[in-house]
């Protein structure tokens, strides 16, 4: 049987200083041990593979270490540390809550808490994936977690803190573990390569760190897979081939083609990517990230946001120097829209190709719409301002017509207009060049047309005084035929109408009818439009004497059983008769 041990287990840290990327947790725990301010319950929460269980084991080991170092690290040599390393310690108990999540398992753990440690000062209980405990198990664990014996310490670990009930959270000292940054992962992988005598390309290790997505355990698993594939020499090509990662060179070539609007080259590069088996959405997402990195390189203060190697960073800076920010922002927006709508597209390839064509013309469109202000434009603008300020104030500029309205709206005859225009002097600006005066045409207004409009308006106004009740009832009936609501129709037919000058008086017999008529918003608009009476109003009066109840519903024929039930309700002796003869309701 092979004796191979995966890197995640072989290089698992045994000291706080060996933990990668969690210095804030390590320093806090060391200070707590130094000042003897150690809590009785800890909760380590964070993403997977960032060192939660590792820190819990180191803390448990150092608590019972017989010879801790000066900086409160475990010695890894005493009997307590040796027994823990061999999984033979009786003072440290590890429980996987994912498979031991019932009340019985927690009660068994509570029974172990009652016994004092056989060796060392503390009895430590490490519960991993604590969020998997059931609600009843949490409740059974509350009292022990709040007031444990002085020798008992609980260390809980979870990836989903939001699933833990608040009563548990309030009883623990919470430590939030961070995602491990790519440079820290690369440094750790380089140390392992030195130990294993492996030659690795820094760009290759950087790709492994990016693929791990902040989890060091995932990075070590990927590292073992790459070593099995390429042996003692890890190259960038081997990594991108094994991990199915698109090479950076494709993105640089595509952006270079964008900048010169070479659509054919862009489409050929995209075709080459598809022939190698990459999905179009992987390419468009990678392109958006590449454009984002170029935009970040535009400002020296944001270069630190790049998670790439130094050699690749120089290439990014060179391409960012020749890529306008307007182009990068527009291209990122197009790539984002393409990614959002990718799932809805039937022809995936054509959908991505359309987005690439748009990106190819971005630079050209920016140049067409941009009109930069040159030094010559600024000089001409200043000259024009000085010319306007030195012009003769008595003659107003042609481009600024007077805002004061003329008292007469009727234009003079054409002959007089022509004479007055001929007598006006030409406008002479400050430079001495005479410009002909521009004519401002005015529309002619006919007095006969105005009088006709006034008479028509007066006719409409006069017609409002000629309202009569018969005409109102006729329009009322037209509205009833106009609507489709049968209930409203019946109420409007029963209403009595009367006219008092410009006020329509409607008399009805119930509150329901009154509310129904008031809810008809279109009624008065319809009446005013048909009667041509804009001042018409309506008053609703209620008269209970005129109320007409709906006709009674016809009685339906009762069945034999219904007749029997009615007889039993009216005559109690029927029930007594049923009891004596032991009759059931269905035996009537």
Q: Which of 220, 242, 264 is the last residue of a domain?
A: 242
Enclosing H/E stretch for 411: none
User: What's the pLDDT score for residue 175?
Assistant: 92
- Among residues 109, 120, 2, which one has the least CA distance to residue 61? 120
User: What's the pLDDT score for residue 432?
Assistant: 46
In a domain, 19, yes or no: yes
Domain identity same for 142 and 116: yes
Domain identity same for 20 and 70: yes
User: What's the pLDDT score for residue 352?
Assistant: 92
Domain identity same for 288 and 350: yes
| Cα 498 to Cα 217: distance, rounded to the nearest angstrom | 90
In a domain, 432, yes or no: no
The pLDDT tens digits for 288-331 are 999 999 998 888 888 778 777 767 888 888 888 888 888 999 99
Domain identity same for 322 and 231: no
Domain identity same for 34 and 141: yes
pTM given for the model: 0.56
User: What's the pLDDT score for residue 406?
Assistant: 43
Q: Between vectors from CA 266 to CA 261 and to CA 267, what angle results, nearest 5°?
A: 125
3-state class (DSSP) for residue 547: coil
In a domain, 376, yes or no: no
Domain identity same for 18 and 160: yes
What's the Cα-to-Cα distance from 118 to each of 61, 111, 153, rounded to whole Å? Answer: 15, 15, 15
User: Residue 247 — φ and ψ, nearest 5°?
Assistant: -65, 145
Domain identity same for 199 and 133: no
Domain range for 358 is: 249-369
In a domain, 426, yes or no: no
User: What's the pLDDT score for residue 451?
Assistant: 53
3-state class (DSSP) for residue 540: strand
| Cα 171 to Cα 39: distance, rounded to the nearest angstrom | 10
Domain identity same for 209 and 81: no
User: What's the pLDDT score for residue 238?
Assistant: 85
Q: Which of 317, 349, 369 is the last residue of a domain?
A: 369
Domain identity same for 295 and 334: yes
Taking residue 70's Cβ as centre, other Cβ atoms within 10 Å add up to 6
In a domain, 400, yes or no: no
Domain identity same for 536 and 469: yes
Tokens matching residue 197: 């005598």
User: What's the pLDDT score for residue 577?
Assistant: 76
Domain identity same for 92 and 140: yes
In a domain, 435, yes or no: no
Q: Which of 369, 389, 409 is the last residue of a domain?
A: 369
Domain identity same for 337 and 306: yes
In a domain, 329, yes or no: yes
* Domain tally, the chain: 5
Low-confidence ranges of the chain (pLDDT < 50): 1, 371-375, 378, 381-382, 385-386, 389, 391-443, 445, 447, 454-455, 457-465, 588
| Cα 514 to Cα 488: distance, rounded to the nearest angstrom | 11
User: What's the pLDDT score for residue 540?
Assistant: 85
In a domain, 430, yes or no: no
Tokens matching residue 361: 């013309």
For residue 214, the domain's CATH number is 1.10.8.60
């Amino acid at each position: 049987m092979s004796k191979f041990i995966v890197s995640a287990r072989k290089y698992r840290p045994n000291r706080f200083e060996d933990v990668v990327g969690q210095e804030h947790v390590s320093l806090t725990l060391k200070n707590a041990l130094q000042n003897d301010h150690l809590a009785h319950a800890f909760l380590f929460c964070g993403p997977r593979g960032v060192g939660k269980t590792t820190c819990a084991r180191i803390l448990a080991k150092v608590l019972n270490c017989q010879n801790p170092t000066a900086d409160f690290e475990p010695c890894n040599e005493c009997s307590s540390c040796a027994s823990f390393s061999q999984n033979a310690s009786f003072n440290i108990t590890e429980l996987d809550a994912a498979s031991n999540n019932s009340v019985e398992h927690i009660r068994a753990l509570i029974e172990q808490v009652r016994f004092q440690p056989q060796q060392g000062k503390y009895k430590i209980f490490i519960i991993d994936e604590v969020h998997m405990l059931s609600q009843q198990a949490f409740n059974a664990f509350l009292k022990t977690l709040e007031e444990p014996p002085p020798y008992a310490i609980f260390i809980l670990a979870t990836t989903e803190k939001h699933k833990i009930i608040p009563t548990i959270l309030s009883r623990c000292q919470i430590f939030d573990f961070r995602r491990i940054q790519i440079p820290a992962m690369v440094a750790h992988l380089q140390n392992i390569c030195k130990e294993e005598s492996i030659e690795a390309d820094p760009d290759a290790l950087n790709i492994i760190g990016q693929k791990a997505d902040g989890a060091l355990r995932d990075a070590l698993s990927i590292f073992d897979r790459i070593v099995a594939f390429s042996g003692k020499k890890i190259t960038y090509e081997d990594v991108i081939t094994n991990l199915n990662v698109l090479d950076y060179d494709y993105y640089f070539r595509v952006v270079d083609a964008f900048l010169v609007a070479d659509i054919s080259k862009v489409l050929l590069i995209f075709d080459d990517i598809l022939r190698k088996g990459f999905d179009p959405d992987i390419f468009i997402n990678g392109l958006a990230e590449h454009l984002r990195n170029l935009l970040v390189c535009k400002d020296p203060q944001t270069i630190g946001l790049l998670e790439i190697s130094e050699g690749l960073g120089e290439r990014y800076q060179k391409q960012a120097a020749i890529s306008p920010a307007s182009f990068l922002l527009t291209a990122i927006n197009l790539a984002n829209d393409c990614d959002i709508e990718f799932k809805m597209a039937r022809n995936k390839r054509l959908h991505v190709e359309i987005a690439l064509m748009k990106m190819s013309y971005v630079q050209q469109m920016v140049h067409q719409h941009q009109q930069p202000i040159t030094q010559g434009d600024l000089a001409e603008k200043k000259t024009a301002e000085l010319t306007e300020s030195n012009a003769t104030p008595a003659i107003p500029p042609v481009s600024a017509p007077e805002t004061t309205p003329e008292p007469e709206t009727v234009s003079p005859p054409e002959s007089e207009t022509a004479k007055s225009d001929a007598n006006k002097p030409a406008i002479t600006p400050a430079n001495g060049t005479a410009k002909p005066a521009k004519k401002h045409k005015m529309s002619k207004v006919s007095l006969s047309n105005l009088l006709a409009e006034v008479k028509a308006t007066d006719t409409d106004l006069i017609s409002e005084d000629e309202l009569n009740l018969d005409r109102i009832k006729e329009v009322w009936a037209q509205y009833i035929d106009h609507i489709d609501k049968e209930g409203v129709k019946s109420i409007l037919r029963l209403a009595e109408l009367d006219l008092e000058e410009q006020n329509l008086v409607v008399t009805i017999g119930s509150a329901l009818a009154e509310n129904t008529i008031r809810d008809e918003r279109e009624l008065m608009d319809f009446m005013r439009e048909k009667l041509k009476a804009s001042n018409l109003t309506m008053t609703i009066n209620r008269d209970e004497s005129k109320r007409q109840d709906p006709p009674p519903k016809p009685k339906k024929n009762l069945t034999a059983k219904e007749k029997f039930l009615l007889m039993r309700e009216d005559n109690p002796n029927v029930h007594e008769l049923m009891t004596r003869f032991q009759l059931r309701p269905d035996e009537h």
